[in-house]
Chain A
């Protein structure tokens, strides 16, 4: 009986702490991007391994993740490396089997803004097709695979933790949850919260009743 109560209390307390830590952290925000709204388009595709690089990039201070727009249905392991004057200033790897129009690579947070960098994405492929998404540009500034230029620049976003915590963004998230649905409104978030809280309360009650 005591063991069960203790396990439940300890488990829920641990969850509470993890939740609090999560809510006190800040979500990643886009510090900089080369995206030009409305002009995104496929700029190349490959079915073999490749290393795509593009120069004239700037990494903002505090960048702790880089998002590159490659599209795959089961993406391969990808390495992202950023060079500045021939030196590696940031690098990271994303494991295989990612899905969708972009992948994000965590990197060691940068202490200062670095301009004039070259961003490269490397991967090897077997049967998969990778589509490179980006913005059309002149051949001179386009991304390239070492031999050929693509039809534009790869979409790249530099991410860093925002200034506000998830907790302080709660009302904003609740407002957005209420948009784009019928019935809509901020109350949707409260109903979701109430549903989940009821499920947890019932679970705790059942555990104490049947296991204690």
Chain B
């Protein structure tokens, strides 16, 4: 009886999902010139989002908010630099001009007050613990307000990043203007937590688009992503990665939707706008751009079979919107007589080594060395030690690992998930062939991002072995991870699939719980 009810519910959900698709994509393209009002379209789109997706978003927000309270101030990757960027933007309306780590006197005082420099990368040092230290912090905060000067032209590693995330964070920064920098940080972190919600929402929608059934597997993916500790930690801190994850997930969703329903004006505008937002959020989005462009070309070619040249107009529209921030950025710098790529161009001078050496390095950053390659990571199995272990748990300033046995134990559920996902893929191989073009686009997006991370890491090599080999940099691919998890649940078969889905979700609850306990032990133990 209950199984029948579940099947019937799944069918209902599927019918609801299919309804908007029944309008032919040809008609959509044909009428694209006279598109209805964007606000009405957006409102209708919002109303179509299922309640489960909103609940997954809420859970992700709650989780990230929890992480924001567990993580001590400025003990998340590069948080002092990102805070400085927001301070500069909010107080002067200008972008930072230098990547020097000499932050403002005001912020330095706060950092000293909370012992940020002593705690960072020193796992044996805990946060302040006594009333005397708390009183000292109050003195530092008083000192900070006394010597406060507007802005912070130096913003460390954040200085070369685009301004969208920081502009959004300027809102809570200004709202808390009567509070201390610590009060501002609290509010800014909570704002970031909202982006975790958006990420989970779009991952849910992406999985719903890509895997038509069963509906329960969308819930599994949405919940697992919402409870992913790395997403919680990054979105519970001040870091543009949180917005990048949300925008990347939205791009995946927009592409999946376009591949199923055809390219229309709204989708073209949405894709272009999302790319523009991505480029305005963090330079890492450049890694996804070639894949998105490939997707746009494929969609256009497909649409042109029905609607002819108007499809190319849509592609031009999407492209123009997408590159508008880059054009504006370059234009502003040219007009003001600076290098066209401003502070971003500083990376160009660091290039070194041959192309083959760089390619070999990037390969080894992710995969075991091939014969003929110089060993760039002696004694390190990068796939396992950098990426897998980093994903399982490396928190704070990457100075908070689990005990070694946890990484061994984690191999068991990881292997089970991979095996179940593989089983699903084998079963669905005929459908995979139907979606080969779309899968190719996602693969290029993933490869682009991985290449970018590898190339950036190579800039610092050999001084630093793997500067950007951090699992958080791969989280823009969370949408694909969501599909892997949904497929893993489905791989257990019709009978056991839902139970496997529950176990996957509970696995992430546990992962999240013990990750936060590890942070508590590291900082307050």
Binding site for B on A (CB under 8 A): 1-4, 6-8, 11-12, 14-15, 18-19, 22, 27, 30, 67, 69, 71, 73-74, 76-77, 94-102, 104, 106, 124, 126-129, 157, 166, 169, 173, 176-177, 179-184, 188-189, 191-192, 195-196, 198-200, 202-203, 206-207, 210-212
Contact = CB atoms under 8 A, between A and B. Distances in A.
Nearest to B377: A126
Given A100-B397, A211-B501, A195 B219 contact: no
B389 A97 contact: yes
A196 B513 contact: yes
Given A74-B464, A98-B401, A203 B183 contact: no
The binding surface of chain B is classed by DSSP as helix
B380 A1 contact: no
30 contacts: A1-B3, A4-B499, A4-B502, A7-B500, A7-B502, A11-B509, A27-B525, A99-B397, A100-B121, A101-B124, A104-B123, A124-B379, A126-B378, A127-B463, A129-B463, A166-B525, A169-B525, A180-B113, A180-B114, A180-B127, A180-B133, A180-B134, A182-B141, A182-B179, A182-B183, A195-B62, A195-B69, A199-B66, A202-B59, A211-B220
A199 B502 contact: no
B513 A15 contact: yes
B404 A95 contact: yes
Given A102-B124, A173-B525, 5 more contacts: A101-B123, A176-B129, A196-B62, A202-B62, A207-B502
B162 to A, nearest CB: 27
A203 B517 contact: no
Nearest to B119: A180
Contacts of B506: 7-8, 11-12, 14-15
Contacts of A27: 521, 525
B12 interface: no
B16 interface: no
Given A199-B62, A206-B223, A181 B182 contact: yes
Given A181-B73, A182-B186, A96 B380 contact: yes
Nearest to B182: A182
Nearest to A95: B404
A203 B73 contact: no
Interface stretch (B50-58, B266-274, B327-335, B447-455): B50-58
A73 B503 CA distance: 36
Contacts of A2: 2
B386 A97 contact: yes
Nearest to A97: B385
Contact of B69 (A173, A176, A180, A192): A192
B72 A181 contact: yes
Contacts of B121: 71, 99-101
Q: Among the interface residues B2, B397, B498, which one has the most CB atoms of the partner chain A within 10 A?
A: B498
Interface string B428-456: 00000000000000000000000000000
A44 to B, nearest CB: 18
B34 to A, nearest CB: 39
Nearest to B378: A126
Contacts of A6: 499
B463 A4 contact: no
B464 A73 contact: yes
B380 to A, nearest CB: 5
Contacts of B171: none
A106 B227 CA distance: 31
Nearest to A19: B513
B359 interface: no
Contacts of B466: 74
- The 9 A-B pairs with the shortest beta carbon distances in the complex, nearest first, are A11-B506, A1-B2, A127-B462, A182-B182, A100-B399, A195-B66, A7-B499, A100-B121, A7-B502
Contacts of B129: 176, 179
Given A97-B386, A210-B52, A127 B122 contact: no
B398 A99 contact: yes
Interface in B167-225: 179-180, 182-183, 186, 215-216, 219-220, 223
A201 B82 CA distance: 33
A210 B53 CA distance: 12
B524 interface: yes
Interface in B235-273: none
A1 B4 CA distance: 10
A129 B215 CA distance: 52
B314 interface: no
B219 A211 contact: yes
B206 to A, nearest CB: 17
A12 to B, nearest CB: 6
Contact of A180 (B52, B73, B227, B499): B73
Contact of B498 (A3, A15, A176, A199): A3
B137 interface: yes
Contacts of A19: 513
B161 interface: no
A15 B509 contact: yes
B147 interface: no
Given A73-B464, A179-B133, A211 B2 contact: no
Contact of A177 (B69, B219, B403): B69
B496 interface: yes
